Amino acid sequence: MNPTSFHATISLSNGVQMPMLGLGTWQTPDGETASQAVRWAIELGYRHIDTAAIYGNEKGVGEGVRSSGVKREKIFVTTKVWNDAQRAGYDAVLSAFDESLARLQFDYVDLYLVHWPVKGKYKEAWRAMEKIYADGRAKAIGVSNFLQHHLDDLLPDAQIVPQVDQIELHPWLQQKSLTEYSVKHRIVQTAWSPLMQGKIDDVPELKRIARQYGKSAAQVALRWNIQHGIVTIPKSVRRERIAENANLEDFVLTSEDMQTIDGLDSHKRLGADPDNFSF
The CATH number corresponding to 17-262 among 3.20.20.100, 3.30.70.1140, 3.20.20.70, 2.60.40.10 equals 3.20.20.100
Q: Is the dihedral of CA 145, 141, 241, 205 positive or negative?
A: positive
Residues known to be catalytic: 55
Helix (H, G, I), strand (E, B) or coil at 203: coil
Q: Would you state the pLDDT for residue 138?
A: 98
Distance (Å, rounded) from C-alpha 52 to C-alpha 243?
23
Does the pTM of the predicted model rise above 0.75?
yes
- What pLDDT, in 10s, does the model give residues 17-66? 999 999 999 999 999 999 999 999 999 999 999 999 999 999 999 999 99
Contact 106, 79 (CB under 8 A): no
Q: Is the pLDDT of residue 6 over 90?
A: no
**Averaged confidence pLDDT in the chain:** 97
Instruction: Output 200-205 pairs: Cβ under 8 A, ≥24 positions apart.
Output: 200/170, 203/171, 203/172, 203/264, 205/260, 205/261, 205/264
d(CA 239, CA 42): 11
* Closest CA relative to residue 12, chosen from 178, 227, 194, 160: 160
The pLDDT confidence band at residue 2, using thresholds 50, 70 and 90, is very low
The secondary structure element, H or E, covering residue 196 is: none
pLDDT at 1 (0 to 100) = 41
Domain ranges of the chain: 17-262
Nearest 10 degrees: Cα torsion 160, 225, 117, 107: -60
